[in-house]
Amino acid sequence: MSKAGAQAAAPPWDDASISAIRRDMLRFARMQLRDSGAAEDMVQEALMAAMRSAKSFAGRSAFKTWMFAILRNKIVDHIRASSREICSSDLVGSSDLDAGLEEFDVLFKQGGHWNPDDRPATWSDPEAAFEQDAFWQVFDLCMNKLPEHIARVYTMRELLELETAEICAELGITPNNCFVILHRARLGLRECLENRWFQGESR
């Protein structure tokens, strides 16, 4: 292959774009692994796998989407391989589950209706928020505030797009347990985003 040909097929490898993509990949991996070392390894492996392959891309966003698909597969493999170690002992049987429940119960009054302070307000223009890096920093922070076992199930479901049945099997929990955990994740994440982003914005 001629040198010119190789260059035409090369993805945008310049340092600035790689380091920006690497930063976003790390954020994605850390949300799911909560182990900085493992997240770094996973991102490094994904970058290396991508660099070995001589694919061409129409543009930077296609390239980035492809990189994220590689990273996602690496994380799924990692979770499947290590599910026997983490599994149910972390999730069920621990008092964490109930501790998490009480925390979100305070959102509701007796009788199960919203506390006036916690009642969901109107969010103005979430799509515009998605365009701001500051929003994703808040999102990251809110994910980190979730109890670890809750965040793990949520990211498996929403970021890795695993089916609930597979998550249950991997973690050795019942479907109902899984639903309850996902519900708590959504309650907690929503509350945090409203308090730390959307509320300040609309007032």
Partner 1 sequence: MKMMNCKDATRLMSERYERTLSLRERLALKVHTAMCRGCSNYGLHLDVLRLAARRLREGCEGGER
Among 28, 46, 151, 170, binds partner 1 (CB under 8 A): 28
122 forms part of the interface with partner 1 (CB under 8 A): yes
According to CB under 8 A, which one of 56, 89, 126, 148 is a site residue for partner 1?
A: 126
Q: How many CA atoms lie within 13 A of 169 on its CB side?
A: 7
Cα atoms in the Cβ-side hemisphere of radius 13 Å centred on 201: 18
Q: Does the footprint of partner 1 cover residue 24 (CB under 8 A)?
A: yes
Q: Does 121 bind partner 1 (CB under 8 A)?
A: yes
Binding string, residues 76-105; x marks residues near partner 1 by CB under 8 A: ------------------------------
Minimum Å distance from CB 123 to partner 1? 6
Stretch that binds partner 1, among 3-11, 40-48, 87-95, 178-186 (CB under 8 A): 178-186
According to CB under 8 A, which one of 108, 166, 172, 195 is a site residue for partner 1?
108
Q: From the CB of 19, what's the least distance to partner 1, in Å?
A: 12
**Per-residue exposure over 124-155, b if at least 16 CB sit within 10 Å of its own CB, e if not:** eeeeebeeeeebeebbeebbeebbebbbbbbb
Q: Which of 164, 166, 177, 196 binds partner 1 (CB under 8 A)?
A: 164
Burial class (CB in 10 A: 0-12, 13-18, 19+), 108: middle
Give helix 148-158 / helix 175-193 axis angle, nearest 10°: 100
Distance CA 45, CA 74 (A): 8
Is 68 among the residues that bind partner 1 (CB under 8 A)? yes
Q: Is 22 an interacting residue with respect to partner 1 (CB under 8 A)? A: no
Q: Summarize as ranges the residues that interact with partner 1 (CB under 8 A).
A: 20-21, 24-25, 28, 31, 61, 64-65, 67-68, 72, 108, 111-114, 119-123, 126-127, 130-136, 139, 158-159, 161, 164, 175, 178-179, 182-183, 186-187, 189-190, 193-194
